[in-house]
Amino acid sequence: MPAFHCPLGAVYYDDEPCIDCGLCQARTEPEMVAASKKMREYIRAHAARKNRSQKIAVCGKGGTGKSTLVALLANVLRQEGYTVLVIDGDESNPGLPRLLGLGAPAIPLISLLERFSRGDRKPDASWLEAARISPESIPREFIASASRLKLLTVGKIIDPFQGCACEMADLARDFVQKVNLGNKEIMLIDMEAGIESFGRGVERGVDTVLVIIEPSFDSLALVEKIRYMAEGIGISTIRAILNKIPSAAIEAKLRNELEKKQVKVAGTVYLDPQISQAGFAGKKLPANTGTDAQAKKIATAILSGQE
């Protein structure tokens, strides 16, 4: 039987967090569906409800512009006086440090679990075992930083036969839940494409899920699944951001479709040639564009709880 990762962190059946849902022992599809329903109901009933968005997961189909939106929102929030902790949770896309203008990434978190050390010694992992982690307590070797901006990379698949990304997902899930943010501190998580991270419960520790939507059928189809998954792990604030929108007419059509799917829209970012060119060239996002104002409006709506 394939390895099973309990959403509640139980190591084995009847372990302390176990709620006897039967998910780990399901052998048929009806058993799996029934157990999954029980797990969803438990998590939703015990989810901590928060009045503000401090931990924000940015999700969506591949190619919709998740990393670009994370960088745009991070820059806007910094300008508004927030300290932004950006988590690169995508194990394949390497472009986020460049979009943020940070150059090479720092040591990834996954190095703490790797068999081989990087250099003369293996990094100290004791800080990661703490019950609560503040952004200030993260060792500098794991952080690429600028003014009021910190970027932490979970890990990347870089070699053939390296194995699956399950270990990285587990590490990201536990880390996000442990991070304790203070006043005027925000976490933005650039998630991997699709919904696999929800299956591993990576988003369980976040307050808000932002789904990036581009003008495509597949992007609209995926948002329903993401909403279903997010609600199932206790997240009530789920918003869409319309990205790479070429016209007001397309925006209106997308908003109409999302209303049918009961997904609220946080805002729109129109197609910007300067943003596209920066992404193609692997450069930092340009400043003082019309996109900045659009991103600021989105950030204000999310932080104020506007719908």
Question: Distance of CA 81 to CAs 147, 184, 215, Å?
Answer: 10, 7, 33
Specify the fold of 49-304: Rossmann fold (3.40.50)
- Once rounded to an integer, what is the mean pLDDT over residues 179-192? 95
Task: Give me the residue spans of the domains in the chain.
Answer: 1-46, 49-304
Per-residue pLDDT tens digits for 6-54: 766 676 677 777 888 888 888 888 888 788 778 777 766 665 545 456 9
Torsion of CA 74, 78, 81, 85, to 10 degrees: 60
Per-residue pLDDT tens digits for 79-138: 999 999 999 999 888 889 999 999 777 899 988 876 555 555 667 788 998 999 999 999
Range of weakest confidence among 85-99, 157-171, 175-189, 247-261: 157-171
Is residue 1 scored above 50 in pLDDT?
no
Q: Which two tokens stand for residue 165?
A: 């990304």
Per-residue pLDDT tens digits for 135-170: 999 999 999 999 999 999 998 877 786 667 788 888
Q: Are 292 and 77 in contact (CB under 8 A)?
A: no
The phi and psi torsions of 61 (rounded to 5 degrees) equal -65, 155
Place of tokens 């991103």: 295
The structure's pTM equals 0.83
Per-residue DSSP letters for the chain?
------TT--SSTT-TT-----GGG--SHHHHHHHHHHHHHHHHHHPPP-SS--EEEEEESTTS-HHHHHHHHHHHHHHTT-EEEEEE--SS---HHHHTT--S----GGGGT-SS-SSSSPPP-GGGGSSSB-GGGS-GGG-EEETTEEEEE-----STT---SHHHHHHHHHHHHHB---TTEEEEEEPPSSSHHHHTTGGGG-SEEEEEE-SSHHHHHHHHHHHHHHHHTT--EEEEEEEEE--HHHHHHHHHHHHHTT-EEEEEEE--HHHHHHHHHT-PPPSSSHHHHHHHHHHHHHHHT--
